[in-house]
């Protein structure tokens, strides 16, 4: 196995953090970036407890100055994991909240990728991993402000892969599409479905909808991130990764059935 320099965004918590430690354990040089300085300090403290070495610094992907920090790092692999969650009914949610989600999950992710791609294309080698979501494969009522960003990101990843293949510079593009994992990310979105400060078209159904969302999370969320971390490891180490990796497979199968039923 070739040891690689791997940069992961959004590595302060959840899937990004777990992937960073898993890749470091396999001998890769992992640059684990976090949204805030506080997260960076916490991650460095965890490195000490685990006895594992990660290069850690704060990188807010929405800030151009932060993105430019990557130009001299020359990673072999970029794992675009940083993202924000957003929720609410498209009939009434503040459009600025949708715009802010797209700014981070799509526009800033693409801008960061462009920074790193320049070096990869010049070296004629590299892999870009987009961590999208199964929420980007089927409509998710009341979670569409987030779900739409992942639809867009999955499309962007597939399109960029075709472009890099056409360029012929051995730059690989791949997608990771996780289902529901118990990292706190999904629960935070569900909690934001309804704004207590304003009335809603769905006020009469709000308690039932909240209960339904809680039951769905309880049923679907996996406690361990091992299955999706394994897919990230596979994608980063492959000479020619697949277009799409899904975890857990059972939720991927459910999405396929849902798409067939809605066709």
For residue 188, pLDDT over 90 is answered with no
Q: Which two tokens stand for residue 70?
A: 């990557």
The side-by-side arrangement of strands in the sheet containing 5-8 is 55-58, 29-34, 5-8, 77-80, 126-131, 171-178, 244-247
d(CA 132, CA 150): 5
3-state secondary structure of 223: coil
pLDDT of residue 101: 97
Is 210 one of the catalytic residues? no
3-state secondary structure of 187: helix
Q: Please, which residues bridge with residue 2 across strands?
A: none
d(CA 22, CA 209): 37
3-40: burial string, b at 16+ Cβ within 10 Å, e else: ebebbbbbbbbbbbbbbbbbbbeeebbbbbbbbeeebb
Burial of 82 (C-beta count, 10 Å sphere; 0-12/13-18/19+): buried
pLDDT band at 219; cut points 50, 70, 90: low
Q: Is the separation of the CB atoms in 119 and 47 below 8 Å?
A: no
Of 146, 210, 212, 245, the catalytic one is 146
C-alpha dist (Å) from residue 186 to 34, 52, 256: 19, 28, 21
Q: What digits encode the pLDDT tens for the residues 30-76?
A: 999 999 999 999 999 999 999 999 999 999 999 999 999 888 899 99
Give the number of C-alpha atoms closer than 13 A to the C-alpha of residue 37, restricted to the C-beta side.
0
Q: 5-261 maps to which CATH number?
A: 3.40.50.720
pLDDT of residue 229: 96
- Give me the residue spans of the domains in the chain: 5-261
**Mean pLDDT value of segment 145-172:** 97
How far from the centroid of its chain's Cα atoms is residue 212's Cα? 25
pLDDT of residue 208: 86
Of 5, 48, 150, 212, the catalytic one is 150
Q: Is the separation of the CB atoms in 47 and 54 below 8 Å?
A: yes
pTM: 0.93
Is 150 one of the catalytic residues? yes
d(CA 52, CA 40): 15
For residue 222, pLDDT over 90 is answered with no
Pairing of strands 77-80, 5-8: parallel
| Measured CA angle at 27 (ends 57, 113), to 5 deg | 45
Q: What digits encode the pLDDT tens for the residues 120-149?
A: 999 999 999 999 998 888 888 899 999 999
């Amino acid at each position: 196995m070739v040891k690689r320099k791997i940069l992961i965004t959004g590595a302060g918590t959840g899937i990004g953090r777990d992937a960073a430690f898993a890749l470091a354990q396999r001998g890769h040089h992992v640059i684990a970036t976090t949204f805030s300085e506080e997260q960076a300090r916490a991650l460095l403290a965890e490195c000490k407890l685990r006895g594992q070495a990660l290069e850690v610094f704060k990188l807010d992907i929405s800030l151009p100055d932060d993105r430019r920090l990557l130009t001299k790092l020359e990673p072999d692999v970029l794992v675009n994991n940083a993202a924000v969650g957003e929720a609410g009914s498209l009939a009434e949610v503040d459009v600025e909240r949708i715009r802010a989600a797209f700014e981070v999950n799509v526009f800033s992710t693409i801008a960061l990728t462009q920074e790193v791609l320049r070096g990869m294309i010049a070296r004629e080698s590299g892999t870009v991993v987009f961590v999208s979501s199964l929420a980007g494969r089927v409509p998710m009522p009341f979670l569409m402000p987030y779900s739409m960003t992942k639809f867009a990101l999955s499309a962007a990843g597939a399109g960029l892969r075709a472009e890099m293949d056409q360029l012929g510079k051995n730059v690989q593009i791949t997608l990771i599409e996780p289902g529901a994992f118990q990292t706190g990310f999904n629960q935070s979105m569900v909690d934001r479905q309804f704004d207590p400060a304003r009335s809603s078209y769905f006020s009469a159904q709000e308690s039932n909808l909240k209960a339904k969302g809680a039951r769905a999370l309880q049923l679907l969320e996996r406690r361990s991130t091992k299955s999706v971390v394994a897919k990230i490891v596979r994608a980063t180490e492959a000479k020619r990764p697949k277009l799409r990796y899904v975890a857990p497979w059972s939720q991927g199968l459910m999405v396929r059935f849902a798409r067939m039923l809605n066709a």
